[in-house]
């Protein structure tokens, strides 16, 4: 039986989980500052808990967005256009779910329409809706591709992500200039080598 949610409680759209209050979130930041070895009451840090919580609202706003809803408005008046549609070099800003540090890179999205297309800004918004959550790149790649396939029902979807993970570049092994590449090919992009090569050529790659 589901718990009753109080009016004052904020629930995540993506997970259905009830969020702590803002005061509780700020208290958690103060605890982390003390754990790091500093004084949250000194002048330079007095406003930090509030700023961190406001930053988190921006970094993780994807938990309050529905990617499927973003794709509901489509267009059928395309004069018979049935070739690949590609939006490349979409800036990616996400956070690693293991260390909560940034993942920065770019996303390339392609699909092969079947009678209807969607506004290209919606493709970028779907990327952001999933990216502005705690993520691993493999899951993010699959979520974007699967959602486009399920909602638009095109003849195929292709997603490639190239990104640097600060959990690897600023901590741990400290390896800079390393990019992780992931891909998900569905429908025609998986089954037809020529269609897949066309997409890869359009995003400036020969393989993934």
Give me the long-range contacts of 198-203 (CB less than 8 A, separation at least 24).
198/84, 199/84, 199/86, 199/110, 199/158, 200/160, 202/84, 202/86, 202/88, 202/110, 203/86, 203/88, 203/89, 203/108, 203/110, 203/160
The catalytic residue among 99, 108, 143, 194 is 99
The catalytic residue among 137, 143, 149, 198 is 137
* 174 is an active site residue: no
* 76 is an active site residue: no
Distances (CA, A) of 149 to 72, 99, 162: 13, 30, 21
Q: Would you state the pLDDT for residue 6?
A: 54
The catalytic residue among 57, 69, 97, 150 is 97
What angle, rounded to 10 degrees, do the helices at 120-131 and 137-152 form?
A: 140
DSSP reduced 3-state for 126: helix
Q: pTM surpassing 0.75? A: yes
* 95 is an active site residue: no
User: Taking the chain (208 residues) in consecutive chunks of 10 residues, what is each chunk's mean pLDDT?
Assistant: 57 95 97 98 98 98 97 89 94 97 98 93 98 98 98 97 94 90 98 97 92
* 135 is an active site residue: no
Q: Would you state the pLDDT for residue 9?
A: 78
The catalytic residue among 108, 135, 162, 165 is 165
């Amino acid at each position: 039986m589901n718990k009753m949610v109080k009016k004052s409680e904020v629930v995540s759209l993506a997970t259905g989980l009830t969020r702590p209050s803002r005061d509780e979130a700020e208290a958690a930041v103060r605890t982390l500052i003390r754990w790091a070895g500093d004084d949250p009451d000194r002048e330079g840090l007095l406003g930090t808990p509030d700023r961190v919580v406001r930053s988190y609202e921006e970094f993780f706003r994807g938990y309050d967005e529905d990617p499927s809803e973003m794709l509901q408005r489509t267009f059928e008046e395309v004069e018979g256009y049935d070739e690949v549609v590609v939006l490349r070099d979409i800036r990616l800003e996400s956070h690693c779910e293991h260390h909560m540090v940034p993942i920065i890179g770019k996303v390339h999205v392609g699909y092969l329409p079947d009678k209807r297309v969607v506004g290209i800004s919606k493709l970028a918004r779907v990327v952001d809706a999933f990216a502005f959550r705690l993520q691993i790149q493999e899951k993010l790649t699959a979520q974007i591709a699967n959602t486009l396939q399920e909602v638009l029902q095109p003849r195929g979807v292709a997603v490639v992500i190239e990104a640097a993970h600060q959990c690897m570049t600023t901590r741990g092994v400290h390896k800079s200039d390393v990019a992780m590449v992931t891909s998900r090919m569905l429908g025609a992009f998986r089954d037809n080598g020529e269609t897949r090569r066309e997409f890869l050529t359009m995003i400036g790659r020969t393989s993934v």
